[in-house]
Amino acid sequence: MINKIIGTAKEAVAEIFDGSTVMISGFGEAGSPIELIHALIDHGARNLTIVSNNTGNGHIGLAALIENKQVKKMICSFPRTANSVVFPELYRRGEIELELVPQGTLAERIRAGGAGIPAFYTPTSVNTPLAEGKETRIFNGKPYVMEYGLKADFAMVKCKIADRYGNLLYNKTARNFGPVMCMGAHRSIVQASRVVELGMLDPEAVVTPGIFVDKVVEISNPLSENQLIKENRRYPWA
């Protein structure tokens, strides 16, 4: 019997090893799997390459993972936002690497990796520093930059509802990078706000089929990143 449900976030992230490339979903707080990230901090895997939209906020979630010196490189679109206080300082000190990728290009690189497409061409970043050193070609009289597909050892994703087969539904725009990250990773780990019995999800409504998911842990009352930032909380909790 297929059952991808895992008892705790700690168990779910236990296989993540030193040097892993890990994709982490989220657009700001929306879709960020904060409980899985905190479990990864406790787990202690280091020298990680993280693929995410941004670099975290405050001193919790992804920002706390970076602050704990577990991340050697970020591949992201927004390395600095209003509440990002950790990554900018470490980057200025040369203590963390950055690969800056335009947001649409990042999504397509992940999708391409999951679809088995090694590379593609895009007009985004033409004639900018982001195109330096990259192959360019002319199509129909317009220049395009070649970008490589992205794959990862693991993805950590947040969804609204899952079943034991790993079929997933998301909460509106909180889906963001979740579906393509599940496709682009060798192993996908998902935290779901609710787990339901088989047959309760309309097959026509399923966004991520269970074939792309390896583990699901139910987190029925996920933390609010914005609230934690307002309270100036830090992880690990003081």
Q: Where are the domains of the chain?
A: 19-117+150-196
Check whether 83 has a pLDDT greater than 90.
no
| pLDDT higher than threshold 80 for residue 238 | no
C-alpha–C-alpha distance, residues 13 and 38, integer Å = 10
H or E stretch at 156: strand 152-163
- Residue 67 in tokens: 């602050």
**For the structural domain made of 19-117+150-196, what CATH number should be given?**
3.40.1080.10
The band of 28, judged by pLDDT with boundaries at 50, 70 and 90, is confident
What pLDDT band is residue 78 in, cutting at 50, 70 and 90? Answer: very high
Q: What is the CA angle 200-203-208, rounded to 5?
A: 105
pLDDT for position 56: 95
The pLDDT value given to residue 29: 87
Look at residues 117, 46, 62 and name the one whose alpha carbon lies nearest to residue 228.
Answer: 62
pLDDT at 81 over 90: no
Cβ count within 10 A of residue 207: 14
H/E stretch holding 64: helix 62-67
Nearest to 226 by CA among 109, 41, 82: 82
User: What pLDDT sits at residue 132?
Assistant: 96
Backbone angles phi and psi of 129, in degrees to 5:
-60, -25
Residue 194, number of CB atoms within 10 A of its CB: 14
Question: What is the average pLDDT across 8-15?
Answer: 98
Sheet with 142-148, edge to edge strand ranges: 119-122, 142-148, 136-139
Residue 5 pairs in a beta bridge with 216
pLDDT at residue 1, as a whole number: 81
For residue 35, is pLDDT > 80?
yes
Cα 74 from Cα 20, distance rounded (Å): 12
- Give the pair of three-digit tokens for residue 70: 């577990």
List all residues 6 or more positions away from 14 whose beta carbon is below 8 Å from its beta carbon.
Answer: 43
pLDDT tens, position by position, 175-223: 999 999 999 999 999 999 999 999 999 999 999 999 999 999 999 999 9
Confidence of residue 94 (pLDDT cuts 50, 70, 90): very high
| Averaged pLDDT score across all residues of the chain | 96
Which pLDDT belongs to residue 82?
A: 81
